[in-house]
């Protein structure tokens, strides 16, 4: 498999997928979403000893979730989570087995109230 064919444009993947599930029960609404982004080319070294160096961002699968409670027609309480499984962002050089960096950013959580005035 040639990785150049999978990610031949800078910071863009040819292969991405999204899947979501939403449900509603009484005054509650919930969702679960999955997002997969394929391998992306980040940089290419042009001269010297690193002339053949290509840096890639590895594919990644992230999950998001949300829950809402509609108290009235004008007031909603919500709770959202992004990257709830704390999927790392991994960078490699030329081949997936030549790991360069692995970064974990953690999950992002939000709790709030939405009101219509």
How does pLDDT run across 25-72, given as a tens digit for each residue? 999 999 999 999 888 888 777 666 666 778 888 889 999 999 999 999
- pLDDT value for 50: 63
Average pLDDT, the chain: 86
* Angstrom distance (rounded) from CA 81 to CA 65: 5
Is 6 in contact with 38 (CB distance < 8 Å)? yes
| More confident: 45 or 89 | 89
- In the sheet with 60-72, reading across from the earlier edge strand, the strands are 16-25, 28-37, 60-72, 75-82, 108-115
pLDDT of 4 higher than 90:
no
Is 38 in contact with 18 (CB distance < 8 Å)? no
Is 89 in contact with 55 (CB distance < 8 Å)? no
- pLDDT value for 20: 97
């Amino acid at each position: 498999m040639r990785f150049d064919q999978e990610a031949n444009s800078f910071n863009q993947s040819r292969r991405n997928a999204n899947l979501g599930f939403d449900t509603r029960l009484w005054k509650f609404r919930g969702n679960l979403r999955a997002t997969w982004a394929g391998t992306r080319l980040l940089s290419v070294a042009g001269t010297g000893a690193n002339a053949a160096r290509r840096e890639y961002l590895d594919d990644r699968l992230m999950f998001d979730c949300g829950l809402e409670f509609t108290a009235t027609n004008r007031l909603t309480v919500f709770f959202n989570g992004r990257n709830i499984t704390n999927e790392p962002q991994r960078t490699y050089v030329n081949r997936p087995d030549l790991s360069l960096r692995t970064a974990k950013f953690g999950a992002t959580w939000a709790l709030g109230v939405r009101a219509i005035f």
